[in-house]
Amino acid sequence: MNRLTDILRMVTLSPELLIALATIAIHKTMPSAGNLALALLNSDHKWAVGIVVVIPITLLVSCYQLGTEILSPQGKRKVLLEWPDYWRLKYRVVYALAVCAIALFASLIGYLLVLNRKSPAAAMLIIGAWAVAATTTASLALAKWSTREILGE
């Protein structure tokens, strides 16, 4: 039960959820933001396709690298493997990878909708997906720095 509670807390009380809700709120209260994002994404299709694909893939790869460094400790950090709450750390890394993968697919779906339907909501979906993935990557970077600091590296 403790693990289920922790997973629910991780998902519902996350900065990623806050960023996603903020993106929705911005789209609802300021429709011009969606139109601006749509105009930027429609400006040059070749450039936009590269950006839509490169940004979330880069964030996913960064999450993977940071997660691997956190979960595969070497030297002094091997003590983390014996930590009773190591599973929490592992769950958060898996969660971060899942969020970045979802952001990648959301970006691709959003871009297809931007191309086919010229939808400002889809443009905001792309921006929101990038922001959520960037927040997740930043959280993992902070976790990596925190473990180094706690262990005195």
SS3 83: coil
Which pLDDT score, from 0 to 100, does residue 77 have?
77
Q: Which residue has the tokens 């509670």?
A: 5
Cα–Cα dist 98/153, whole Å = 29
* Structure-block tokens of residue 46: 């070749």
Better-scored residue on pLDDT, 63 or 119: 63
Which pLDDT score, from 0 to 100, does residue 42 have?
76
Q: Which CB contacts under 8 angstroms, 24+ apart, belong to 29-37?
A: 31/120, 33/124, 34/120, 34/121, 34/123, 34/124, 35/120, 37/120, 37/123, 37/124, 37/126, 37/127
Overall residue count recorded for the chain in this entry = 153
* Structure-block tokens of residue 101: 């993968």
CA distances for 73 relative to 6, 29, 77, 78, angstroms: 23, 45, 5, 5
Write the pLDDT tens digit of every residue in 9-38.
Answer: 888 889 999 999 999 999 999 999 999 888
Which pLDDT score, from 0 to 100, does residue 44 have?
67
CA distances for 100 relative to 57, 85, 150, angstroms: 8, 24, 27
Question: Does position 145 have pLDDT exceeding 70, yes or no?
Answer: yes
Write the pLDDT tens digit of every residue in 79-117.
Answer: 888 888 888 999 999 999 999 999 999 999 998 898 888
- Give me the residue spans of the domains in the chain: 32-150
